[in-house]
Amino acid sequence: MANILEHRVPEFEVDEVFIKRWSPRAFQEKEVPEDLLFSLFEAARWAPSAFNSQPWRFIIARTKEDREKFHTFISDFNLVWCKKAPVLVLILSKTKEDSTSIMSHAFDTGAAWGYLSIQAMKHGLITHPMTGFDFAKAREVLNIPDEYAIQALVAIGYQGRKEDLPEHLQEREFPKGRRPLKESVFEGSFGQPFHTDK
């Protein structure tokens, strides 16, 4: 925790689980036990969604064959580090129910991803989401129907050593900070700062 707090200092009291979760790129080539892996998706299952529509869907690659199929649409920059990850997950959201659009599909699926990432951290796993891949090719390779939007690809596994990354990535391997709360939270109308006694 000490190392993380060099880069992350909360402005208000918050459970340390939110501070400790970050997105390393260094993975060990170590298999994730099935019960541990599926507990992440169990956590995601309980995320809130409008009308309980549960628009999220996950395509998992955990065998060598499936991971190699995913590798065909991942950018070279990301493939350099994520090819060591034992699990890759493509996150989708269903955009329509019958002929009705699900307006909050991306919002709700983001909540499910958040639950998944926190559960992973609590189990000693790391997650790294990315959008650096060919969305159209992913759709084609994985036979994804048109009514599902592709949201992100996530690498899941155990954290490896920074020194095992290419040199240009080693310098980026630390928990990033966040902008001040006042730049994200407004009160009353857009751009109006919130008021606090702090």
Task: Output the six-digit token pair for 166.
Answer: 């290419």
Q: Is pLDDT at 157 greater than 50 in this prediction?
A: yes
Helices 105-122, 34-45: crossing angle, 10 deg rounding = 140
> How far is CA 47 from each of CA 1, 60, 124, 184, rounded to the nearest angstrom?
27, 19, 21, 23
pTM of the full predicted structure?
0.93
**Rounded Cα distance, 115 and 40, in Å:** 8
User: What are the extents of the domains in the chain?
Assistant: 22-160
* The pLDDT of residue 194: 86
Q: Is the pLDDT of residue 91 over 70?
A: yes
pLDDT at 2: 45
Confidence (pLDDT) at 197: 67
- Take residue 85 and report the two structure tokens written for it: 């990850």
Q: Does domain 22-160 have CATH number 3.40.109.10?
A: yes
What letter would DSSP give residue 6?
A: T
H/E stretch holding 176 reads: none
* Tens-digit pLDDT profile for residues 16-71: 999 999 999 999 999 999 999 999 999 999 999 999 999 999 999 999 999 999 99
pLDDT of residue 5: 73
- Residues whose CB is less than 8 angstroms from the CB of residue 144 and which lie 6 or more positions away in sequence, other chains included: 59, 92, 138, 150
Q: What is the pLDDT of residues 167-187, one digit of tens each?
A: 999 999 999 999 999 999 999
Q: Residue 1 above 80 pLDDT?
A: no
